[in-house]
Structure 1
């Protein structure tokens, strides 16, 4: 079964658009996303965002790559959540063996596509209170654009 619709928010024939937001993801999951080894990000909320996004390695102050957020599955049942492991969700089988519960009251799988690791991470300014998303300042958007245009 093909998890993703055959769409791409990145138009490879044109220069990449400015990326306005970045998702904060803890390691090692952030690196797995930008390397293409993790195609589902498990979260406790839905999102309507469908666009190219930066991936921030939590606690580093750096954007390490980009991908497209193309869809959301959920809320997931426990069975669907367990299935996400085989689809690149990064679910820890030991956690499931211990708890047999969902990690959130409502659990969603954010679908990611077209990952790209930056050759050099880009520093950004972390706003107070940002836990999930960071709205990138114009200078960071432009630095990211320049890095992707190489």
Structure 2
């Protein structure tokens, strides 16, 4: 297990669930559960999931994404000058019931490779926690922020830009929201396919089920700021539609052009099912954005049981 060294006040904000972007000076390829080390204390105070590393922010992106990184305006010039512009997405933070001491190696300033004994101590501290939460709810700003490639823009600004070529608003799924879905998938043992690029429109999740692996696609190029689009293979949809429709906060996606539940997209070839002439399609659902992690988890559990 690896431990990430974070100074105050940032580590406290992460543990409180109000900070999901930890700004660093470079990308990281590390993913999965990490330990949270309070700088200068030689103690591990929590654990969390590091789920992604975003492109660097520019001045505007830094200013417009405060709700994720929490760097106040007065400190942003310093962040720009020192290159603290690479957001690492950290979610599902949990405090340990008792801080775990560790031996700090000389020269370690970012990561610490923890020995097996320390990792076991962390596991015991987690078990001793009286009420370990599941996913930490992500703070949602009063006006939905839509984030793409590290730049956050107000939903009203996105709307003013007009529809994109697919008839949507041109707004992208928030990385903080996407991180919540990825963390939910990781918690439930669902495989998450890496993105080919920051502009990839579909995020693929593979859910193990009784009938074999099932693909769930999340549309990253969201049409609505209030919902997240989920698409299933038609055969799978036929088996689970009745149960999914019974989840409060989930509704059917309706294709305005065809007046059905399909969305045609070249990415749907991953379903590997017979398709009509033209681009393949999947059957769609809309999840309430404010409960997306919870609702996605329920959808996964339904699929897993089929």
Question: Structure 2 length normalisation: TM-score?
Answer: 0.40
Whether contact under 8 Å (2:23, 2:84) holds in the other structure is no
CA–CA distance in structure 2, aligned partners of residues 31 and 133 of structure 1? 18
Instruction: Point out the structure with the larger helix share.
Output: 2
CA–CA distance in structure 1, aligned partners of residues 37 and 79 of structure 2? 28
- Structure 2 partner of 1:5: none
Equivalent residue pairs, number: 128
- Structure 1 partner of 2:13: 32
CA–CA distance in structure 2, aligned partners of residues 30 and 103 of structure 1? 22
Question: Structure 1 length normalisation: TM-score?
Answer: 0.79
- Structure 1 partner of 2:94: 116
- Structure 2 partner of 1:92: 72
Q: Aligned Cα RMSD in Å?
A: 1.6
CA–CA distance in structure 1, aligned partners of residues 28 and 64 of structure 2? 21
- Structure 1 partner of 2:34: 53
How do residues 1-150 of structure 1 correspond to structure 2 at under 5 angstroms? 20-87=1-68, 89-96=69-76, 99=77, 102-105=80-83, 107-150=85-128
Larger Rg, first or second structure (1 or 2) = 2
SS in 2 for 1:112: strand
The structure-2 alpha-carbon separation of the partners of 1:106 and 1:32, relative to structure 1 and needing over 3 Å to count, comes to: closer
CA–CA distance in structure 1, aligned partners of residues 82 and 54 of structure 2? 14
Q: Which has the higher contact order (CA 8 A, sep 6+)?
A: 1
CA–CA distance in structure 1, aligned partners of residues 6 and 115 of structure 2? 19
Unaligned runs of 5+ in 1: 1-19
Whether contact under 8 Å (1:41, 1:109) holds in the other structure is yes
Q: Give the Å deviation of 1:101.
A: 6.6
